[in-house]
Amino acid sequence: MQPPFAGITRRPATAEATEADSAWITRVSAEPSNQQQSQAGSGPLDGLHFAVKDNIDVAGLPTTAGCSAFAYTPSEHAHVVERLLRAGARLAGKTNLDQFACGLNGTRSPYGPVPNALNPAYVSGGSSSGSAYVVAKGLADFSLGTDTAGSGRVPAGLNNIVGLKPTRGLISARGVVPAAQNVDCVSIFAMTVSTAAKVLQACIGYDEADPFSRRVTMASKPLPAKFRFGVPDTLEFFGDKLAEAAFTQSLEQLTGLGGTAVTINYAPLAQAAAMLYDSALVSQRYTAIQAFFDAHEEEVIEPVRSIIAKGRQYSAADYIRAEIDMLALSQVAGRMWQEIDVLFVPTAPTHYTIDQMQADPVALNRNLGQYTNFVNLFDYAALSVPSLMRPDGLPFGVTLIGPAGSDWQLADLGQRYHHATGLSLGATTRSLPEPAPIAALQAPATVRVAVVGAHLSGMSLNWQLTERDATLVEATHTAPDYRFFALANSQPPKPGLLRVEPGKGAAIALEIWEMPLTHYGSFVALIPAPLGIGTLTLADGSSVQGFVCEAQALTTATDITHLGGWRAYVNSLTHSTN
């Protein structure tokens, strides 16, 4: 048994609770005696307080999964909790959830519904409802949820916070009460992407005691500056015009960050999403708690009881057929990655009040999963980030989705997107801090090249740089040791740069561009003789790769050194014809 926590407050299963209390099932005091549970001052998460969804084990505290009859007190921390405490984080408590992590709305709990952090008349989203609420309200720096069908994303989108759903198996699920074990994963809520990414780094670790833990090859470079993002060919907002308008604005924002929208076939993704509850795959939910459910079915609340009981009706053959159908859909859906770098969807298509949800709990809950259910089934990574506040004061979030192992790429793009919104943090009035580098990403290898003629900004061949994701670094000059010529009979017109003896040349204007090294070879291949790439000395004495010219080609060229650069030469031609 781990050393006990001090100052524990446990809430009985009752719908009667204050708004803030409804998010918690067990609170833990921040007294110094609790710091024996962490390596305070010794890890990357030192000083951060966190909460865990109450289907994740914390030694000495009951794990209820939202059902008091199911509750047990573990003697060991869940693997992920142990890692967080070792990283210096401090536990604040365990949070309310849709019972047995079955739901996307936050109202399916005998401990009472968890309200939305910005408008308590509305749902918080589930099943990780309490974990999202305490972060949005600033009661915890980050929290753990779980995500099977969107429970780590929908509550983030509805509460104006970040929801990071990692690649399955990156974080061990040992010590987590499963919902559907072969598609579950532990998820992370935080105010900012950088905090969520820091927590993910602390959580990642192969665990041989978890049959679903795995070592994943992670993409280590950001997405290209110019990227393609997929948008479903059919979009459903269930009559919510404000959500529809919000997504249109979100598309414009992502385009402004360098993205190009590509329409993708959403049918196989939608078909997979439907199968999660409307096929033999739902038997996973029954299997997860079969012994308890068969003995205590009456202790499980509706509609959770009916959903889990539905899993009894399927045979092993039914389940195998469903798995084969899912693999076939995954193959079809996977073709989209040949055309796009990232998939972009609303986190949730609309927002319901608690009263609306309780009046029609199954259909409206299904609606909230319109853009989430397929992600774990297809082994994708996802990141939900805030996008804007709607005119009615409700938050609207968007989700970036990528193949397994794209977690750091999504974090990099998601942070850029989130910080471009200028939104406040969660349900607070605090402003976004400065963005922080995603430490796990390596900057792509680049090369700098100096251009002096038709490749300058606004000139006829500049597109050869920009289509290779090159960016302008600075405009400067060579050292005063070069002669500059306009080549004869070149189309489009081009200059030639020649190094000469000190005192016989001049400083020539140039631009320095930086491009990914992977594109450099194709750029150099476009350079026609007598031009080539050599080493240029700049005015400050440093060196850079740049355009040079063979000396014999300059015998018929016009010396334009006195003009100091190609742009001045082009301007002189224009003036001479006027």
Cα distances (angstroms) measured from residue 359 to each of 102, 303, 310: 17, 12, 21
Q: What is the pLDDT of residue 17?
A: 64
Average pLDDT for 97-118: 96
Going by C-alpha positions, the residue among 196, 214, 119, 92 that lies closest to residue 152 is 196
- Four-residue CA torsion sign, 505, 507, 511, 512: positive
Query: Taking the CA of residue 487 as centre, how many other CA atoms within 13 Å lie in the half-sphere pointing to its CB?
Result: 23
Calculate the average pLDDT of the chain.
93
Cα distances (angstroms) measured from residue 470 to each of 47, 511, 512: 41, 12, 10
Average pLDDT for 292-315: 96
Q: Can you tell me the distance from the alpha carbon of 297 to that of 309, in angstroms, rounded to the nearest whole number?
A: 9
538, 546 contact by CB (below 8 A): no
3-state secondary structure of 546: strand
The domains spanning 9-217+346-421 and 446-577 adopt the same CATH topology:
no
Q: What is the pLDDT of residue 6?
A: 62
Q: Can you tell me the distance from the alpha carbon of 328 to that of 499, in angstroms, rounded to the nearest whole number?
A: 62
Q: What is the pLDDT of residue 9?
A: 73
Q: What is the pLDDT of residue 1?
A: 40
The band of 446, judged by pLDDT with boundaries at 50, 70 and 90, is confident
Question: What is the 8-class DSSP label of residue 526?
Answer: T
- The amino acid present at 85, given as its one-letter code, is L
388, 408 contact by CB (below 8 A): no
Pairing of β 90-95 and β 49-53: parallel
Tens-place pLDDT, residues 253-300:
999 999 999 999 999 999 999 998 899 999 999 999 999 999 999 999
Q: Can you tell me the distance from the alpha carbon of 448 to that of 16, in angstroms, rounded to the nearest whole number?
A: 64
- Which of 22, 53, 143, 384 is catalytic? The answer is 53
Tens-place pLDDT, residues 463-478:
999 999 899 999 999 9
Q: What is the pLDDT of residue 518?
A: 85
The CATH code of domain 9-217+346-421 reads: 3.90.1300.10
Q: What is the pLDDT of residue 575?
A: 66
Which H or E run contains 364? helix 361-368
Going by C-alpha positions, the residue among 408, 420, 414 that lies closest to residue 444 is 408
Alpha helices in 187-297 (DSSP H): 193-203, 241-256, 267-278, 283-288, 290-296
- Residue 560, C-beta contacts closer than 8 angstroms, at least 6 positions apart: 484, 485, 486, 495, 569
Tens-place pLDDT, residues 341-350:
999 999 999 9
Q: Is 406 a catalytic residue?
A: no
Going by C-alpha positions, the residue among 106, 107, 95 that lies closest to residue 134 is 95
Alpha helices in 160-228 (DSSP H): 193-203
Q: What is the pLDDT of residue 42?
A: 66
**CB neighbours (10 Å) of residue 248?**
10
Q: What is the pLDDT of residue 440?
A: 82
Going by C-alpha positions, the residue among 98, 22, 53, 124 that lies closest to residue 307 is 98
Q: Is 198 a catalytic residue?
A: no
How many residues in total does the chain contain?
Answer: 578
Question: What is the 8-class DSSP label of residue 439?
Answer: T
Three-state secondary structure of 375-414: HHHCCEEEEEEEEEECCCCCEEEEEEEEECCCHHHHHHHH
Query: Taking the CA of residue 357 as centre, how many other CA atoms within 13 Å lie in the half-sphere pointing to its CB?
Result: 28
Is residue 365 predicted with pLDDT exceeding 80?
yes
Average pLDDT for 44-53: 97
Q: What is the pLDDT of residue 36?
A: 45
Is residue 39 predicted with pLDDT exceeding 60?
no
Of the ranges 31-45, 230-244, 276-290, 431-445, the best mean pLDDT one: 230-244
Is residue 95 predicted with pLDDT exceeding 80?
yes
Q: What is the CA radius of gyration of the chain?
A: 29
Q: What is the pLDDT of residue 564?
A: 96
Q: What tokens were used for 330? A: 């995954």
Hey, which CATH number is domain 446-577, 3.40.630.30, 3.10.490.10, 3.30.750.24, 3.10.450.50?
Answer: 3.10.490.10
The band of 35, judged by pLDDT with boundaries at 50, 70 and 90, is very low
The owner of tokens 């993205």 is: 259
Is residue 53 predicted with pLDDT exceeding 60?
yes
Is residue 309 predicted with pLDDT exceeding 90?
yes
The owner of tokens 């992670």 is: 218
The band of 504, judged by pLDDT with boundaries at 50, 70 and 90, is very high
Q: Can you tell me the distance from the alpha carbon of 471 to that of 224, in angstroms, rounded to the nearest whole number?
A: 12
Tens-place pLDDT, residues 8-30:
777 677 656 677 789 999 999 76
Backbone angles phi, psi at 468, to 5 degrees: -105, 20
Q: Can you tell me the distance from the alpha carbon of 93 to that of 200, in angstroms, rounded to the nearest whole number?
A: 19
115, 133 contact by CB (below 8 A): yes
Average pLDDT for 61-73: 97
Neighbour-count burial of 491, counting CB atoms closer than 10 A to its CB (0-12 exposed, 13-18 middle, 19+ buried): exposed
> Which stretches of 478-517 are assigned E, i.e. beta strand?
482-486, 495-499, 509-516
The rounded percent of the chain whose pLDDT value lies above 70 is 94
The band of 37, judged by pLDDT with boundaries at 50, 70 and 90, is low
Going by C-alpha positions, the residue among 53, 57, 54 that lies closest to residue 78 is 57
Q: What is the pLDDT of residue 15?
A: 58
Alpha helices in 457-565 (DSSP H): 463-466, 517-524
- Which of 109, 128, 151, 283 is catalytic? The answer is 151
3-state secondary structure of 201: helix
264, 342 contact by CB (below 8 A): no
Backbone angles phi, psi at 512, to 5 degrees: -105, 125
- The amino acid present at 171, given as its one-letter code, is I
Q: Where are the domains of the chain?
A: 9-217+346-421, 446-577
The band of 533, judged by pLDDT with boundaries at 50, 70 and 90, is very high
- Four-residue CA torsion sign, 251, 257, 261, 264: negative
Q: What is the pLDDT of residue 424?
A: 96
- Which of 22, 109, 124, 127 is catalytic? The answer is 127
Average pLDDT for 187-207: 97
Q: Is 127 a catalytic residue?
A: yes
- The amino acid present at 251, given as its one-letter code, is L
Going by C-alpha positions, the residue among 326, 241, 247 that lies closest to residue 282 is 326
Cα distances (angstroms) measured from residue 412 to each of 200, 225, 406, 474, 485: 13, 11, 10, 25, 44
Strand partners of residue 269: none
